[in-house]
Chains A and B, each alone.
Chain A
């Protein structure tokens, strides 16, 4: 973005430079020096004579529209007009400030000349200068126009027409100009709007660059002209047309790149832009002819590049290519037209106002490219949907596969633990082996699930202060049997170290690192160490295993990735033999991903034959006071205030009532209990609707549980109720169902009570 802004600024600067240098370098011979052309009240006849004498042939030759550099004449024959009317002399595309107009006479012989000097005030956007004349009917006039100052533009148009017609003509042209610019601007604004809607940066580029292009164009054409009125601005504007192509071109090429991003194309555009920029700057100081040639060739170059890009895009056979082709087509035609006109007519193009075609082609290009960007977005969104679907299918597949594969493993696990009792001394070793394999198979499936969960973004990071030495101690204890069975040692050396990390993830990282070390170490041992670094704790896992080659180190964490790409190609042909070995690299790739998630730096060093070291740099925790109490069970025991319900109990058995009350209150419920209905009424008289009413069906009195619940339901609308009963008869069940009462069968257990509360 920055380099783009710099580029645009440079372009504009170069234009100013050109405008200044042009003044000093343009040195052309004026075929009609001012003295010869000077008209004075007393010397009109002389002037005309002189004029006729010296330039008669030229005058005749050019006839109706006389064009020379610096001045021209127009013979206006309005002899056949009977009416007196107002005329307008229009000098278009002159783009100079001062124009002298001489109405020389009725006939060549009869001179009654008037003359007028035009200035900015007479300027009419965008048609050039206009002069109102009042001419007598049935007469013949010669109108001479002298352009004061230096002529820059090569094309001068002039015409004389009735005022009414001119007004219409000017209005039409202005309207056309405004319409096209407005349309381009509208597209740009629409694109910006789309950006806010879709947050797709391509739209933003499109909108912003096109807007800038449009604004500069309008600014220069209108505002500058009308308000500032500097002579040099005219030149500035015409020179700026070229680079304005460039600006717009860059806007479009950016979209083009958005359609098909290619570094080569990008580079090509930059080189092209720079060449164009430099050639414009240098040629401007070399005089008009060279400048004109350079402009022509840059136009040609642009056209060639546009065509080349389009061909390149089409070769790639993307739908975007067709949009590009269509978009570039009008602009290329216009550029070629410019080029050929420059060469053939040497700058003089009669009566062709190419600017309108130019604007129109910009608009068309803009429109088509916007369509292209929209189409690209659609394609992207479709691709995204397809990819999401595929990824979902993959996750489902993995989940389903690991679920199904785990089922037999689980029953095998249970059966193995049941078998243990019956196995005699010699068989126990084998049973242990089976158990170990089972554990590692389960671990592998767990890893697969972890990875798919990570990919699905289900795992969330929960950073807290962790006692690292405590964790290492437990892990060493856990892995000790495995180490002993391989007759290697596992030790840890640590000072008090508290770190900030997600406990589960850090544990998984360490577990994977240790089991990786265990797997690769045949003799010697494993050492876990912590060292304090500034504000961090360096945790290292050393082993005296086989070590790794330098080249292997780089891919040690990405092994799964390679396997994964293989898998994606053919989901049906998963090489299960890969899963059976420990070499799948799942463990280390999880280590990598978890440490990335936790923002922990992870490095590995190794020497073949000596061993490896994995290092983690963990952020040190300042809150050592947060003491973690590790529970014996890995289940989360219920908290005291787990349920916050108000419950009314009615049972005629005081023992059951008290037991229930105690259990419910231990879970945080507010319980009102009563042995009889009147008592309950008394106790709950001033209370609002409870969350639950529990009543024994058999209350020993006249009222049974149903009746009590019904009465309460009348009083408290929406009341939830449960009926406790030992009666399993169908009628009770049906009645309860009809009245939307939950049934609790005796014997009541805490389990049932919890189940009841859980349903609320």
Chain B
């Protein structure tokens, strides 16, 4: 089993590697102190079984790293090991295909247990965080209902937030640009905004867009 640990704190890297080795002698561990290094390692060894990733990395941060990893078109499971328990960041990470989250405050036994569970295919997210994440998404739903917007319009809004043009959104969602236009008009009306940037900011403020 090949595991890559990405963390900018060498002390923590060493400690976590040691914990993993205790857990399973056959584990091959490589480490990276930055996301760029991690990406080059992944390109060299695409058969990695697991990446343990810290979210708060200097330079390219954890979330951007996940986006790039997704573009690589190789499935490499990632578990976040972080001291941040910001539910927004975690739900974003989950949306990017992360399979679990382990708080750094966990003891070595708890970490071992979590990784073992993950290897069995379980989603490992601490209960209290899962509650926070659910709260976030239920808030989003409530917001949608209040503004009388549909799922599809939320999708359009999300793509808008990524800076895509109407044509690009139309291509991405397999709909006509005319439909996109009517969606954006509805969104602007619902959010009482004139421009795209204003709408995205307002949506973020309302909690409609996470992050």
Interface residues of A (CB under 8 A from B): 399, 403, 406-408, 410-411, 413-415, 417-418, 442, 446, 449, 458-460, 462, 504, 631, 633-638, 642, 663, 667, 717-718, 722, 728, 733, 736-737, 740-747, 749-756, 758-759
Q: Taking the nearest CB of chain A, how far is it from the CB of B209, in angstroms?
A: 16
Chain A residue at minimum C-beta to C-beta distance from B22: A418
- Specify which of A415, A741, A742, A751 is in contact with B77 (CB 8 Å cutoff): A751
For this complex, 30 residue pairs linking A to B, each with C-beta atoms less than 8 Å apart, are: A410-B83, A410-B104, A411-B12, A411-B15, A414-B108, A418-B19, A458-B132, A631-B127, A633-B113, A634-B127, A635-B122, A635-B124, A636-B127, A637-B122, A638-B121, A638-B123, A642-B123, A667-B121, A736-B73, A741-B73, A743-B73, A745-B47, A745-B75, A750-B119, A750-B120, A751-B120, A754-B121, A755-B97, A755-B99, A758-B98
Using an 8 Å CB-CB cutoff, how does the interface string of B53-93 with A read, 1 for contact, 0 for none?
00010000000000000101111111000011111000000
Is residue B156 within 8 Å, beta carbon to beta carbon, of the partner chain?
no
- Cross-chain contact A399 with B12 (CB below 8 angstroms): no
- Cross-chain contact A722 with B75 (CB below 8 angstroms): yes
- Cross-chain contact A749 with B119 (CB below 8 angstroms): yes
Q: Taking the nearest CB of chain B, how far is it from the CB of A627, in angstroms?
A: 17
- Cross-chain contact B121 with A663 (CB below 8 angstroms): yes
For window 27-52 of B, CB contacts with A under 8 Å fall at 46-47, 49-50
- Specify which of B19, B22, B56, B75 is in contact with A755 (CB 8 Å cutoff): B75
- Cross-chain contact B107 with A417 (CB below 8 angstroms): yes
- Specify which of B74, B97, B122, B127 is in contact with A758 (CB 8 Å cutoff): B97
Q: Taking the nearest CB of chain B, how far is it from the CB of A333, in angstroms?
A: 44
A695 to B70 CA separation, bound complex (whole angstroms): 19
A274 to B86 CA separation, bound complex (whole angstroms): 58
Is residue B168 within 8 Å, beta carbon to beta carbon, of the partner chain?
no
For window 1-21 of B, CB contacts with A under 8 Å fall at 9, 11-12, 14-16, 18-19
- Cross-chain contact A743 with B109 (CB below 8 angstroms): no
- Cross-chain contact A636 with B15 (CB below 8 angstroms): no
The answer to whether residues A758 and B12 also contact, given A417-B108, A635-B127 and a CB cut-off of 8 A, is: no
The answer to whether residues A504 and B73 also contact, given A407-B9, A407-B83 and a CB cut-off of 8 A, is: no
- Specify which of B72, B97, B114 is in contact with A635 (CB 8 Å cutoff): B114
A390 to B109 CA separation, bound complex (whole angstroms): 40
The answer to whether residues A751 and B118 also contact, given A413-B107, A741-B73 and a CB cut-off of 8 A, is: yes
Chain B contacts of A667 at CB under 8 A? Answer: 121
Chain A contacts of B76 at CB under 8 A? Answer: 752, 755
Q: Taking the nearest CB of chain A, how far is it from the CB of B88, in angstroms?
A: 8
Q: What is the number of residues of chain B that contact chain A, defined by CB distance less than 8 Å?
A: 58
Q: Taking the nearest CB of chain B, how far is it from the CB of A442, in angstroms?
A: 5
The answer to whether residues A759 and B131 also contact, given A411-B12, A417-B109, A751-B49 and a CB cut-off of 8 A, is: no
- Specify which of A399, A413, A717, A755 is in contact with B105 (CB 8 Å cutoff): A413
Q: Taking the nearest CB of chain B, how far is it from the CB of A413, in angstroms?
A: 7
Chain B contacts of A504 at CB under 8 A? Answer: 128, 131
Chain B contacts of A744 at CB under 8 A? Answer: 74-75
A462 to B133 CA separation, bound complex (whole angstroms): 13
- Cross-chain contact B131 with A633 (CB below 8 angstroms): no
- Cross-chain contact B46 with A745 (CB below 8 angstroms): yes
Q: Taking the nearest CB of chain A, how far is it from the CB of B82, in angstroms?
A: 9
8 closest Cβ pairs, A-B complex: A750-B121, A414-B15, A759-B97, A755-B77, A411-B12, A410-B104, A411-B11, A417-B108
- Cross-chain contact A633 with B117 (CB below 8 angstroms): yes
Residue of A717, A745, A751 contacting most chain B CB atoms (<10 Å): A751
Is residue B135 within 8 Å, beta carbon to beta carbon, of the partner chain?
yes
A750 to B122 CA separation, bound complex (whole angstroms): 8
- Specify which of B56, B73, B123, B126 is in contact with A634 (CB 8 Å cutoff): B126
Q: Taking the nearest CB of chain A, how far is it from the CB of B58, in angstroms?
A: 12
Chain B contacts of A743 at CB under 8 A? Answer: 46, 73-75
A562 to B37 CA separation, bound complex (whole angstroms): 46
Is residue B193 within 8 Å, beta carbon to beta carbon, of the partner chain?
no
The answer to whether residues A638 and B122 also contact, given A414-B15, A460-B135, A756-B75 and a CB cut-off of 8 A, is: yes
A394 to B197 CA separation, bound complex (whole angstroms): 26
Chain B contacts of A745 at CB under 8 A? Answer: 46-47, 74-75
A417 to B15 CA separation, bound complex (whole angstroms): 9
The answer to whether residues A718 and B75 also contact, given A636-B127, A749-B49 and a CB cut-off of 8 A, is: no
Known: A415-B11, A417-B108, A446-B105. 11 other contacts (CB 8 A): A406-B83, A410-B105, A414-B15, A414-B18, A635-B126, A636-B127, A663-B121, A742-B73, A752-B77, A755-B78, A759-B75
